[in-house]
Amino acid sequence: MAPHRKTRPPSPMGMRTPALATAALTSVALLSQTANASPAAEPKPSLEEVQKKVDDLYQQAGTATEKYNGAKEKTTKQRKQVDTLLDDVAQRTEKLNEAREELGTFAAAQYRTGASTPDTASLLLADNPQDYFDQTQLMSRLTSRQKQAVDDYATQQAATTEKRQEASESLETLTTTQSTLKTSKADVQRKLAEARGLLSKLTADEKARLAAIEREKQEEARRKADELARQQAAAEEQRRQEEAAQAQQGTGTSTGGTGTSTGAGSASGTDSSTTAKADKALAFARDQIGKPYVWGASGPGSYDCSGLTQAAWKAAGVTLPRTTWDQVNVGTTVSVNSAQPGDLVFFYDDISHVGIYIGDGMMIHAPKPGAYVREESIYYMPIHSVVRPA
C-alpha cells in the first residue's frame, strides 16, 4: 500500500516572492538612474550679478595693468643701467689688458737683458703680480715707471672686478623684474578673458538690458556731477563777492597802494602759470577723445588710464610717473569740492584708476578694455582722492 502523503499548502511568502523581486529590480533601476544623472546645474546669475562680476574683473585687470606698467618702467631703467655697466666693464677690461701688456713688455725686456730671472718674468705676467712685487727684493729691481705700471694694473684689476660684480647683480635684479612683468601681463590677460567669457554667454536681450543698467549708472553719476557743479559755482560766486567787498572796503579806507598788493600780484602770477599748464594738459586730453583704451599703452594711438594722464601733463611740461600709485604722490591733495580743471582724480581703494578733471564734476579718462577715451562723471566710480600736479 502506497504511503499517504499530505500535500503542503503553498507558502504565503512564496506567493509574494515574484512581486518583491519586481519591486526590488525597479528600485535598483531607479537608484542606478539617479546615480548616473548629471548634478543639478547652478542657477544662472542675474544681470546685476553679471555686471558686478564684470566690473570687478575690469578693476582687477586695471590693478594688474598698473603692476605691469610699474614693472615695465623699472625694466627699462634697469636695462639702461645694465647696458651702462657692461659698457664700463668692457672699457675697464680693455685698460686692464693694456696694463697687462705693458707688464709683459717689462718682463720680456728684463729676461732678455738678464736683469731678472725667468721667475721674475712669470711673476710679472701672473694674474695678481702685486702680491709678488710687494717683496722688497723684487721691487728693488723695478724702475719707477715699472712700479707705476704695476700699480696701474692692480688698480684696474680691482675696479674691473668690482664693476663686473655690480653688473652681475643688476642683471639678476633685471631678471626678477622681467619675471614680474611677465606675471602681471598674464594676470591682465586672464582677467580680461574671464570678463569676455561672461559677456559672451549673454543673449541679445540680456545684453540690451545690461546696457540699460549701464546707462542708469551713468545717469546717476551725471546727476551727482551736476550737483557738484552747482556747489562749486556757488562757492566761486561767494568768493567773487567777498573779494569785491574787500576791494571796495580797501578803496574806501586807503589812499594809496600798500606792500600787500605786490604779494597778491605774485600769487596771481603763480595761479596764472598753474592754470596755463592745466589748460595745456586739458587740451591734449580732449584731442585724445575717441582713441581706444589698450592696457599698458601710453600713446599716441591708444592709452590706458595712467598713460593718458601722464601724456597729458607731459604736453604741459610736467613729468609724471607711469603708474597711478606713483602719480597720486606727485602734487598737492585737495578735496573733491575744491577740484579744478587739470587735477587728477583717483579711484578705488587700491588707486587703480585715474582721470583728469575738466570741471563741473566731469573728467576725461581711458575707462577700460573695449571702451574709448571719453568724458564721464567723476562719480562713475568710487573716488579715492584728488591731486593737483602743477
Helix segments in the chain, DSSP class H = 12-36, 47-113, 118-124, 130-133, 136-139, 144-200, 204-253, 260-287, 305-315, 324-327
Q: How far apart are CA 162 and CA 167, in angstroms?
A: 9
Does the annotation mark 4 as catalytic?
no
Nearest residue to 356 (alpha-carbon basis) of 370, 369, 367 = 367
The three cell numbers of residue 207 are 545684453
Q: How far apart are CA 5 and CA 136, in angstroms?
A: 137
Distance (Å) of CA 288 to CA 149, 159, 292, 298: 63, 50, 9, 11
Q: How far apart are CA 301 and CA 286, in angstroms?
A: 14
Number of CB atoms found within 10 A of residue 272's CB: 10
Q: Catalytic residue among 188, 297, 305, 345, which? A: 305
Q: Catalytic residue among 67, 163, 191, 353, which? A: 353
Q: How far apart are CA 107 and CA 111, in angstroms?
A: 6
Number of CB atoms found within 10 A of residue 289's CB: 12
Helix (H, G, I), strand (E, B) or coil at 267: helix
Does the annotation mark 353 as catalytic?
yes
Q: Catalytic residue among 322, 365, 368, 388, which? A: 365
Does the annotation mark 365 as catalytic?
yes
Q: How far apart are CA 247 and CA 376, in angstroms?
A: 38
- Output b/e per residue, 318-352; b: 16+ Cβ within 10 A: bebbbbbbbbbeebeeeebeebbbbbbbbbbeebb
Helix (H, G, I), strand (E, B) or coil at 145: helix
- Sheet containing 374-377: which strands, arranged edge to edge? 332-334, 383-388, 344-347, 353-359, 362-365, 374-377
Residue type, 205: D
Helix (H, G, I), strand (E, B) or coil at 89: helix
Residues designated catalytic: 305, 353, 365
